[in-house]
Amino acid sequence: MSLVNYATREITCKIVYYGPGRSGKTTNLHYIYGQVPNDRKGQMVSLATQTDRTLFFDFLPIDLGTISGFTTRFQLYTVPGQVYYQTTRKLVLQGADGVVFVADSQARQLAENIESMQDLHANLAEQGVDARTLPLVMQYNKQDLPPEIITPVAELDEALNFRGVPSFPADALHGPGVFETLRGISELVLRRLSTGQGAG
């Protein structure tokens, strides 16, 4: 749930980048972090473990517009994708205002993408969150790879995007689609927030 600070007139929203291991969640955050001016971002915090370099989540606030005179600040988190880090994923997902599902476009990763999407829905349900109402966008990452080894966007949409939410082809390493994805989820979160708070 978003946090409202009346003293500083700030609303803080939490966006979680979710998806299978090595799909590009952390790469997205590193790219965004590198592009945002220093005076508009907090420090990036990594929690790494010894077993795998991808096992950390990052914290990154970004200011985006105002709602009823309140400044909006976004905190971006990644979750470890590996199956055995279920507990960490659940913890990071708690209180999320929106989710970016980062799918790996490689054809051989399709089953992992589907499993991760089912995992997301199961974790949300366990927390009493209706996955159909939570702001969600899809990012089909690694679209820069050769066409013969990736699944076309239309097929990824058919396999993963049963809610018909906005989806974005991306290359998180080099940037295409990264900010489009962030803008997509931010707009959904802000829209839900402004209707939820009766701001008009």
Tokens of 151: 């699944």
C-alpha 156: how far from its chain's center? 17
What pLDDT score was predicted for residue 79?
82
Within 13 A of 191's CA, how many CA atoms are on the CB side?
Answer: 11
Higher model confidence: residue 160 or residue 63? 160
- Sorting pLDDT into bands at 50, 70 and 90, what band is 97? very high
**Which residues lie across from 2 on neighbouring strands?**
none
Q: What percent of the chain has pLDDT over 70?
A: 85
Listed range (59-68, 132-141, 189-198) with the worst mean pLDDT = 59-68
Residue with tokens 């940037």: 175
The whole-number pLDDT of residue 123 equals 93
Euclidean distance between CA atoms 18 and 43, whole angstroms: 21
Please name each of the domains of the chain with its CATH number: 3-196 (3.40.50.300)
